[in-house]
Structures are given as structure tokens and as C-alpha cells.
Amino acid sequence: MRRIGIAVLAVVFLAVAGCATRPADPDLARQFDEINDPWEPVNRGIFAFNGVLDAAVVKPLAVGYRFITPQFVRTGVSNFFENLRTPMYLANDLMQADGAKACDSLRRLLVNTTIGVGGLFDPASHWDIPKKDNDFGRTLAVWGVERGPYFVRPFFGASTIRDAAGWGVDLFLIPTDYLILDQPEIYWSKAALYNISEREQAIEFIENLQRSSTDMYVTVRSLYLQNRTKEIAAARGEKSAPGYAFEFDTDD
């Protein structure tokens, strides 16, 4: 009953907030189609909510975390989480039939779990098996699923319909999470520390963006979509090259 209520509420919310309208100008219309963000008004609302949460809670925690820990501890924490996620990368490498990448992920997992003391250290990188991530959103793309509209996830930020679905699947591909599933305090502490650790590494970059952007919503959307296009091209084994032309030399 409650679930139906939420679904009805969501539909009403979408209907009330309305959709973005396609501009008449051909240049703007092309950009509108490429970006594919029909739920922009709703997405902006969620983005604003995430921004408030970040400024009030997540960023202060990240800054505090940096203040109280030395760099080698933070590197260890980041390595540890990376190692826990490697089985998920491996699963996606395999589903994308990328043998070379799967081999690298497996070697990283074995080397870093053993010699790297449970993943706290990253000796694999020193032996020329650099980090490579992967996710089910990319797997879906390799399988031919279209990306669908841009979508800002509450709490977790920029995504698309396909990538958000993929992200949901990836949560089930991290085997160690099953060990702590019945201990919510540990599970959520782990999740919190992971997100704070990730946020800490982006402090300067996000500040630079905030100082330079006239509209963070548009900037983040642009960065996310361009970066994903590149990652998906790489997953398909294509050489990435920006697909737009600088036409201004011949225009006038």
C-alpha cells in the first residue's frame, strides 16, 4: 500500500513539475537532444537537495576526515575499498567479455588481498597492473541498452536511467557486503566512510568547479555525460575522439 502511495506521489510530482521543452533554434534543439534531460526541473530539485546535504554534512565530514588522518591512512582506506569492489569490476569485465581486463582485475584482487594485506596496500599497481574500474551501467551499454534520460539520484548524484539501474545491480556484486548485511551499524558505517573517503579526494576539484561555473547543475551534467561516453567507448574497445566539429572557421 505504502509503495503504491509513493509511486503515485512520484508520478504526480513529475506531472506537476513538468518537463523541459525542446527549443525551436536548430543549434539549441540539437544540444537538447544530445543531453536528453526531459526531467530537468525535477532533477534540478534533487540536485539542489544533494547540494545542501553536501555543504551541511558530507563536505564538512570530508574536511574533518582529512584533518584528523595522515595521508598514508587515507590511501590505505581508499585501497581497502577499491579492493572490496574489485570482484564487482571483475564480474563486469567478464559480462563484457573483456578477457584482458578480467585478467587484470583478478590479478589485482589476488595480489592486493594477499601481499597487500587484505587490500590496505596496492602492490599490484607497482607491478604494472594499474587500477581499472568497471560497472554494470557500462555492461548494459555494451549489451546495446540505450542510456535513457539523464537522472540525478537523491544522495548519490549524477546518473542516467541505464547507469542508475546498473548501479543498483553493482550493489549486489560486492561479495563482502553479504558478510555484514545482518549488521546494519557496520554496513552503514562502511558505506559512510567509503563516501567520505571519495569526497575527500575531490575537495579541491569541486571547489575549482564551484568558483568557475555559472551553473553547477549544467556543468556537472556535462562532465558526467562526456566522461561516461568516453568510458563506454573504451568498454566497447573504441578509440575515443570528441565527435563534434569546430565549425566556426568555415561559418562566416
CB 214 → another protein: shortest distance, Å?
5
Beta carbon nearer to another protein, 15 or 250: 250
CB 212 → another protein: shortest distance, Å?
4
Q: Residues of 3-39 as b/e, b for ≥16 C-beta within 10 angstroms? A: eeeeeeeeeeeeeeeeeeeeeeeeeeeeebeebebbb
Beta carbon nearer to another protein, 180 or 234: 234
Beta carbon nearer to another protein, 31 or 176: 31
Site for another protein, rule CB under 8 A: 23, 25-28, 31, 35, 122, 125, 130-133, 157-158, 198-199, 201-202, 204-208, 211-215, 218-224, 226-231, 233, 240-242, 244-246, 248-250, 252
CA atoms of 26 and 28, how far apart (whole Å)? 5
Beta strands in the chain (DSSP E): 150-153, 157-160
CB 179 → another protein: shortest distance, Å?
26
Beta carbon nearer to another protein, 146 or 198: 198
CB 16 → another protein: shortest distance, Å?
20
CB 139 → another protein: shortest distance, Å?
18
The number of residues in the chain equals: 252
Helices and strands (H and E) in the chain: how many: 14, 2
With beta carbons less than 8 A apart as the criterion, state whether 160 and 52 touch. Answer: no
Beta carbon nearer to another protein, 23 or 99: 23
Beta-carbon contacts of 221 under 8 Å, excluding residues fewer than 6 positions away, are: 35, 37, 150, 158
Beta carbon nearer to another protein, 187 or 224: 224
CB 230 → another protein: shortest distance, Å?
2
Q: Residues of 169-183 as b/e, b for ≥16 C-beta within 10 angstroms? A: bbeebeeebeeeeee
CB 125 → another protein: shortest distance, Å?
5
Beta carbon nearer to another protein, 187 or 194: 194
The separation between the first and the last C-alpha atoms of the chain, rounded to the nearest angstrom, is 62
DSSP state string for 215-252 = -HHHHHHHHHHHHHHHHHHHHTTPPP-------HHHH-
